[in-house]
Structure 1
Amino acid sequence: MILSDADILRRLEQGDLVVEPLDDPDIQIQPASVDLRLGHEFLEFQHANIPCIHPNSEDEVSDYVEETVIEEGGEFILHPGDFVLGTTHERVAIPDDLIAHVEGRSSLGRLAIVVHATAGLCDPGYEGQITLELSNLGTAPVALTPGMRISQLTFTELKTPADRPYGAERGSKYQGQSGPQASKIQGDREFGGDQ
């Protein structure tokens, strides 16, 4: 079951679902979603003079991105074909009986802006800011302003709560993240990690 605005408000009031700061609930809470705003931090992918990135190499991944912080009132220009990691302004905490889906806003989609490539899911138990995988699929640059509503979060109720939710007990690598996070795929078992 997908949560309605009334369900979302009830869960927020109970405190088991957290979206904070939720500065303007009248605007941010939609009929079946919560609009999330764009944060100030971005990780930009550099045009590298290397033949490829090896996902199991933390150094190659971290050398490939550079952090950019946009000051209050500034804007980030997302050029056609660019891919950057951004972050939500809000921090979320998803209870063990819900799963959250990160979706783009249709108004930005009509400007060819997408907010996730593949990571459109927040597992039960996840806590932290959400990293956005921002792309411009259009032909013109688009100005993104920190604080603008960039994405929406919908919530689906699980039939039963997760037995092993995302979090510290699982060693979940993105738990508690603040700001955009580059890939930590080198922590996966197939690359010698413990995930």
Structure 2
Amino acid sequence: MYLSDVDIERAIQEGEITLDPYEPRRLQPVSYDICLGNKFIVNEESATHIVDPVKKIFAKTREITLDDDDVFVLHPGISVLGVSKEYFGSDHYLIQVGGKSSLARVGLMIHNTAGIINPGHFLHVTLELSNQNNVPIIIRPGMEIAQLTFSKLTSPCKQSYKKNGRYAKDNWKHFVAPKAKRAAKLAGKR
């Protein structure tokens, strides 16, 4: 069962949902609009020949931090990681991250497959931004980028994401390529 705007607002006021910053004007009938943050992770294309997640061979990446008034030009066919401005989570509700139709219509995908935030996970969500258009798309820190919906669970979770979650910490260390020495060692195991 999805929470309505009335239920979302009540859950925030009662501390069942953490959402910081919270702006009432972003509350929709059954969702809450979140904004794009200032940090991005991009692949170093010239230094990346192949990615093999099974063998832990990842792209060389770098982090970019933009000022609030800067823009990021996302070129056709390119994917980058971005982050939400808002820090959010809940021990009580399943949160789903969805795209905004206005952005989908111009070819901007905000996540490829990872749209579920488990109960117990509190974070600035990582967005998998991808330009599916044939022209560049300008994105800006602070722009409305995605929407959150909140679902009530039929019973409490048996497992705790805080304890067992792969991305339980709010950091990007797991997205950055391994150090050069380790990467060379892993690449040699092919």
- With structure 2 as the length reference, what TM-score do the two structures score? 0.86
The aligned counterpart of 1:10 is: 10
| Amino acid aligned to 2:33 | D
Distance verdict in 2 for CA 1:87–1:155, change over 3 Å: same
1:46 to partner: Cα distance: 2.0
Which segments of 5 or more consecutive residues in structure 1 lack a partner in the other structure?
A: 185-195
Q: How does 1:107-118 map to 2 (within 5 A)?
A: 107-118=102-113
3-state SS of paired residue (1:7): helix
1:94 to partner: Cα distance: 1.7
**How many corresponding residue pairs?**
177
1:64 to partner: Cα distance: 1.8
Of 166, 173, 181 in structure 2, the residue corresponding to residue 173 of structure 1 is: 166
1:56 to partner: Cα distance: 4.9
1:69-104 residue CA offsets vs partner (Å, 9 max, x unmatched):
111200111111010000000001222x31111001
1:81-128 residue CA offsets vs partner (Å, 9 max, x unmatched):
010000000001222x31111001111111110100010110111111
Distance verdict in 2 for CA 1:45–1:131, change over 3 Å: same
Distance verdict in 2 for CA 1:180–1:101, change over 3 Å: farther
- With structure 1 as the length reference, what TM-score do the two structures score? 0.84
Distance of 2:83 and 2:173 partners within structure 1: 5
Q: How does 1:147-158 map to 2 (within 5 A)?
A: 147-158=142-153
Q: How does 1:1-195 map to 2 (within 5 A)?
A: 1-22=1-22, 24-26=23-25, 28-56=26-54, 60-61=57-58, 64-95=60-91, 97-167=92-162, 169-170=163-164, 172-178=165-171, 182=175
- Aligned residues: percent identity? 33
RMSD in angstroms over aligned alpha carbons?
1.9
Larger Rg: 2
Contact 1:42 1:87 in 2 (8 A): yes
Distance of 1:141 and 1:151 partners within structure 2: 19
3-state SS of paired residue (2:126): strand
1:33 to partner: Cα distance: 0.5
